[in-house]
Chain A
Amino acid sequence: MNSHLPANRAETAFEDFKLPLLRDAAMVEANRCLFCSDAPCINACPTHIDIPQFIRKISTDNVHGSAKTIFESNILGMSCARVCPVEVLCVGACVYNEMEQPPIAIGKLQRYATDIAFAEGWKFFEAGTDTGKRVALIGSGPASLAAAHELRRLGHACTIFERKNTIGGLNASGVAPYKMKAERALQEADWVLSIGGIDVRTGVTVGEQVSLASLEQDFDAVFVGAGLGADSSLGIPGEDLAGVHGAVAWIEAMKLGTIDLSKVRHAVVIGGGNTAVDASRELRGLGVPSVTMVYRGVKDNMSGYAHEWSAAFSKGATAEWQAVVTACTGAGQVQHVQCVRVDTDKNPVVGTEFTLPADLVLMAIGQAKLGRVLEAMPGIRVDHGRIMVDEHGYTGRPGWYAGGDCTNGGKEVVNAAAEGKIAAHAIDAAVMGDMGDMGDMGNMRDKGTAARKIDRTGGTSHA
């Protein structure tokens, strides 16, 4: 599937930021894990991987069992090991944080087990007995891949419709290359698809080549994992100048193709989210001498993770806090951005205007929500472009389910993987006529995750 990726892609300039653990280091780290009861790390993981169990298996050299524990909960466990913001998820919940000791390097241990699983070519899952049911999935990113894999384990035939020519969604086209490169995401997608029975149709846009009505007619259920749309723009003068791009589009070009930064001396990234932070760090990594992030809020309020910004800052990116860009200027090619300070209510402060040199401007202020395509379908609720779903991923229109960025507005790969899997079980219950579970969140969650929890809430051994 990934044969068409050019070898000299810009992202290949990056080395892995976090080095993989060798066996000895993995054993030492695994043996530090306390094997907590009702471990907080499990609850902090959206896919509820049984983290103490997979780490214990590493400590006994049972890597096969370890990887199986991971993939049982999260089929995208290999990429999540690399791209998850573990600092705010599992690692952030590690009880060692409470005793001022380094938390367990859960992400690195997960990478250790899953990398070996990939290197060894282990397969853990087989398709279920054919149910005769057919499910369409819109988009081929993490949500759809996780949903399709789970649906196949349950025996349902799957067809994925992908508007691009490359599968994998943002996992392939958007992940910071010092965390994971595109070919690894594509390799993972192929590995997920190798369960068989998933028909992937690339270059097909639902709503154009295939109508929503035909999907409803031809399939027993539809899962929408369409992700987000194009980069939002500010609507400021000069946006159409050469050298002004949407950040997501620029990152995709950098990851999947070649870009020329040889003439870029000053780059400006507009925004304060993780896309802005990633783009700033990537520009520095690719050798752009001056990279300035312009964010309208204060540092403490940025939606980008603090640990990611510190890493970008340490790589030489700088920031203008509480400032907005009012115009891009230049003759054909952008040369400057005009900025102004804003107050805490984000209103411009007169007399604080300033100009930054800029021969590349990336707008990282969000992406269009794709939900509007579905607004025409009665029963489906769309709020500001986000598809509204219940905790099972059900949209309210029978047969229609959704998960991932198109429902949560843009979260992590692990959120998409969790939502895809949960929706798969809701779809299974619906198409198999087992609607009794629909209202039972706990029940669905148990089905959607493998983490076994021993109930120790019972009383004493009173007779």
Chain B
Amino acid sequence: MPDLSTNTGGIQSPNPFWLASAPPANSGRQIQRAFEAGWGGAVWKTLGVPIQNVSSRFAGHTIRGVQAAGFTNIELITDRPLETNLREIAETKRLFPKNPIIVSLMVETEAEWREIIKKSIDAGADGLELNFGCPHGMCERGMGSAVGQEPAVNERITGWAVKYSTVPVLVKLTPNVGNIVPHGLAARRGGAHGVSLINTIKSIIGVDIDRFIPLPRVGNLSTNGGYCGAAVKPIALHMVAALAREKEFGLPISGIGGISNWRDAVEFILLGSSTVQVATEVMLRGYNIVEDMTDGLQEYMRTHGFDRIDQMVGKAIPAYSEWGHLDMNYETVAKIDADKCIGCQLCVAACHDGAHQCIHPQQDTRVPHVDESECVGCNLCQIVCPVPECIIMTPVDNGHSPASWNEFANEGKPLRPKKGAH
């Protein structure tokens, strides 16, 4: 049986699945129920000076009938008294000593950081997560993403935390920056033991088109919120990978952003995460999703020959490269399996209207014909095809040796003739 235990910056966890700092990790009783359900760890909802929240706070982005494929919130950090949270942290640690509790923190002055770090560690925190990411409300008070967007401030505050902490410190990074790398490096310079990313993306999730008010609506006003949920996964994967492949970085990563199932988790791990954090999918479906996450991951590891998580971490990073290194002479064409084809011709519409006009309807059959001499191998037909494995992108032996654009530009290696560029 593969071993799911992980170590992120010195924080040991029985499995890589953590609750992210969010409503599912708001209170002791919740986190205890999550641990009972099988979650490995939890990042306690951010402690600081308790705030007051608005109503409403959440909104979903429905995509083709899939409710909350994207999600937003305008909740702030914890609204509960600090003493209550600390008491429940201690109680939860007593009940679940093997499950790490990482306490998320967000305060302003060095003195405040020192005090709240001490209290958190005294309560039993196994690690700290510095919330430099919240893109709404707190940043307007000079905290959250206001810190995460300034590498110098990030480095200074990280330095305070590391100085006062006796447990590992993770810095949670905001995606609301042009390039994530300088921010990860700032956390490293500050002495962080690891980073968590991404926090939510500054966004307006929708507009009430009858009232002319953005969403979520608070009376007659709204504000920008933090976008999250399944729809943000590609952005998060890129940012995680950008740090993981950065040679000067080298810190452990706790991946966050649209993770809804074990497959998503595997992708984050393969791109460099040693743990993954989940909030939105728990908010939408509850703690019990972790059962499928753990046994799905375990079965994946078993069938792919992995005994431990660390064997998987970053496994796909070597294959993440620049466009200039891609092999221009690698060629595929679409092949349609006539036995599987149901004749919907979505591929015809997609190819004609959205790609390179090489898939044609036929007179005597609903199965379209691919003009392989024109097919550029773009994949669009395969993406729209509703039948699994009906359209296969098939490599073509075109007789050309591999050649990247850089090799063509710098060394004059020959490229195959262009297709579909009439």
Contact = CB atoms under 8 A, between A and B. Distances in A.
Interface of A: 27-28, 30-31, 34-40, 59, 95-96, 98-99, 454, 456-463
B380 interface: no
Contacts of B358: 460
B420 A461 contact: yes
Contacts of A36: 343-346
B64 A59 contact: yes
Interface residues of B, number: 23
B349 interface: yes
Contacts of A34: 344, 346, 386
Contacts of B357: 458-461
Contact of B356 (A39, A456, A461): A461
18 contacts: A28-B65, A31-B65, A36-B346, A37-B344, A38-B361, A39-B344, A59-B64, A95-B343, A98-B342, A99-B342, A99-B387, A456-B349, A460-B356, A460-B371, A460-B374, A460-B422, A461-B356, A462-B422
A228 B80 CA distance: 78
B206 to A, nearest CB: 13
A37 B65 contact: no
Contacts of B360: 456-457, 459
Interface majority SS (helix, strand, loop, mixed), chain A: loop
Interface in B208-240: none
Contacts of A462: 422
Given A38-B348, A59-B65, A99-B387, A461 B343 contact: no
Contacts of B64: 31, 59
Contacts of A461: 356-357, 420, 422
A444 B64 CA distance: 36
A383 to B, nearest CB: 33
B23 to A, nearest CB: 25
A40 B346 contact: no
Interface of B: 64-65, 342-346, 348-349, 352-353, 356-358, 360-361, 366, 371, 374, 386-387, 420, 422
B361 A96 contact: no
A27 B63 CA distance: 12
A457 B361 CA distance: 6
Question: Quick one: which of B344, B353, B374 has the most chain A CB within 10 A?
Answer: B344
A161 to B, nearest CB: 45
Contact of A37 (B348, B371, B374, B386): B348
Given A38-B348, A95-B344, A461-B420, 12 more contacts: A30-B65, A34-B344, A34-B346, A40-B343, A96-B342, A99-B386, A456-B348, A456-B352, A456-B353, A457-B360, A457-B361, A460-B422
Contacts of A459: 357, 360
B419 to A, nearest CB: 11
Contacts, number: 64
Contact of A40 (B352, B366, B422): B366
Nearest to B66: A31
Contacts of B371: 460
Contacts of A31: 64-65
A29 B386 CA distance: 16
Q: Which 6 A-B pairs have the closest CB atoms?
A: A31-B65, A98-B342, A37-B349, A37-B345, A95-B342, A36-B344
Contact of B343 (A28, A30, A98, A457): A98
B381 to A, nearest CB: 11
A438 B327 CA distance: 59
Contacts of A35: 346
Nearest to B421: A461
B97 to A, nearest CB: 45
A459 to B, nearest CB: 8
B346 A37 contact: yes
Contacts of B422: 460-463
Nearest to A32: B65
Contacts of A458: 357
A86 B346 CA distance: 23
A98 B341 CA distance: 8
A6 B346 CA distance: 51
Contacts of A37: 344-346, 348-349, 361
Contacts of A27: 65
A184 B344 CA distance: 35
Nearest to B384: A34
A461 B349 CA distance: 14
A38 B353 CA distance: 13
Nearest to A30: B65
A454 B17 CA distance: 49
Contacts of B361: 37-38, 456-457
Contacts of B346: 34-37
A40 B352 CA distance: 19
Question: Quick one: which of A36, A96, A457 has the most chain B CB within 10 A?
Answer: A36
Contacts of A96: 342
Nearest to B351: A456
Contacts of A59: 64-65
A458 B342 CA distance: 22
Contacts of B344: 34, 36-37, 39, 95
Contacts of A40: 343, 366
A150 B361 CA distance: 33
Nearest to B356: A461
Nearest to B355: A461
A99 B357 CA distance: 26
Question: Quick one: which of A37, A38, A95, A462 has the most chain B CB within 10 A?
Answer: A37
A460 B357 CA distance: 5
A99 B353 CA distance: 25
A84 to B, nearest CB: 22
B71 to A, nearest CB: 19
Question: Quick one: which of A95, A457, A462 has the most chain B CB within 10 A?
Answer: A95
A125 B64 CA distance: 31
A234 to B, nearest CB: 45
B172 to A, nearest CB: 35
Contacts of A38: 345, 348, 361
A140 to B, nearest CB: 40
A204 B60 CA distance: 61
Question: Quick one: which of B342, B349, B361 has the most chain A CB within 10 A?
Answer: B342
A40 B366 CA distance: 9
A39 B343 CA distance: 9
